[in-house]
Structure 1
């Protein structure tokens, strides 16, 4: 039974970012037979309490509620929404045995979550052969919530107090007049078409079929001391308060170096960066993607010099923020959420003929810094596995966990080969920590 005291909403309209990500899901399914799924893992030092943890989650009212939400079809030009189906089946918590060198089971990575008929959230428990501890794997559809919201919900499941007050959803009431919203949307559309003019750098110039693509993940972790040295290097390059811009600059320069080693000419880098719209320090609202986007176009002349690239990105960010770009993009997304899917997807692909970025990049910030326990059990590690849209088929996500700067690299082979992924991480490490050289 759902706990009525927690006041779970039964009807949740999609916001503009949700609707955008719903159609990215459609494009992902067309191009690579993958869904727009977020995966978050928690590594526990001990597996002695695993059964107790599973029972706690299964009985949790919030888990029961979230797993019974289904995305509803609606008439054209009407807003789509989640609806609670009280009699819907809650997914079974699956158990997997991992091989020594296996990160996640293929069955989880290849999930075909149908959010109109199935739960948009699931949990699995993985045990690694010959090792102590357990890996808790949480998977949710990106249309349901963003990485920050997913973390907040999973933390909530891991608390003994199940009656903590939460703002589950944001108010989606539109305050701007229609004419003003239309003008803002049109101006943002012109900006995006200008920013996305071809050619742009891509590591996947050929069109590959879904059965030729294999999704893989690699990780890079720095010690606490190394992480502080990276932040100091960012300060030296003028990005002390914008460390993410330094990390993005290093990423762009590293990708450009791969392109040069392939003997291909450099082009400008186009990369959209999600921006969390929640108040600083707040986890609410949990559901719905509380993000806007900033679109950066890094000139090819800056891609061979980390200092120049960092300075370029810092200036672009300041300019975009001064011009209210994040707010304008949010207004445009809200304005377009009544557009039928076919027309919406055509607009998404129009500026760059389907290539919406040179690569995808995100920085989840400091939200995992103090993530040391879950339901009283020590947490040894926590990781995000981002969705990876093809093309371009390469995604970087930075995070900070327990004092350590982390990177998750998601890529589609053969967009880059396994050898190139290793080379990419080694080169990126050397750019971030030049005095240490390769990792």
Structure 2
């Protein structure tokens, strides 16, 4: 048995920034010390002290079948006997690429990388090369990884002006990044009328899910795509979260919008590090070695990610996972919301659900489609509920602005157990 989470965290802070290797893991947003986990299976996590938790974070989305799904685990075990890495051409990425291209009409070619950040960075490089333009338009409330050019927020002053969202990013690195609020077609129209000839690409999460679940109007998304194309700009849909999560064809398919470029990650690696950028053949053919846009990666197309990803995607299609998860997620959220309203009525809770993604938030009199619309006090209210559930053995992402995820391993029995734990947890909170 390991030492306790608290002991491990104290050790970790001496050798890693903040004691973690990705900021949200530190629990800073909710307070307290992070839990250190040692194993996972199905819908459960087990911490270093042997405590079990029903997991609704699911590594922030990749584990759509749950932890160590038996079919995927068998593929991973067989892969370990074949090779760990090649740094050379191999058949496994080919098989996954052919499968994705056969299922997604707007994906004619695809290049695998190691993360969503790397995928977006590479796709934007292609967009600039294809258009001969330098500027990029992004939207406040969408997250596209931690590359310098997109780790920016809206600044004061003129529409589209941006400022750094992180120390260490100089003004020269973000001068070509324009930022607008979500849910405002008029602002997009106005900006393109001024800057359209300079904008290489409009990049957006068609389902923004990194700053709450900001479900956008189809009319807004269709209109901004129309505006971008009228001005000769490419459309990049960041589907690192929503791709193969909301359905086989992601949000692009649900909306009936074919992007010029699209980025994927998470689910296509079956729980292993992966990213991909894809789209029209004429754009992907600009990438080296065929074209002048350079991008490379020592561990790109890892055999583990390629084979685990393909096994995951095939099972999702074969077992009707998306439809089943949609129903189960609604059942879970209805139950939790009922308990929240009864046991924590002071916070006045509500929820947003899309497919197998969900987000609880303080109630609002208007739809929450932008960052500014998130009710005041949400962060503090969530922190209380988070710790109450954690103490009862239910693990949510440790931030009020992260969404929750369901997996195929979360069956009706797991949902019922979650609701029992939630009722007990929030009853104590009320007392």
Do these two structures clear the TM 0.5 threshold for a shared fold by scoring above it? Answer: no
Give the helix-richer structure, 1 or 2.
Answer: 2
TM-score, structure 2 normalization: 0.27
Give the strand-richer structure, 1 or 2.
Answer: 1
TM-score, structure 1 normalization: 0.27
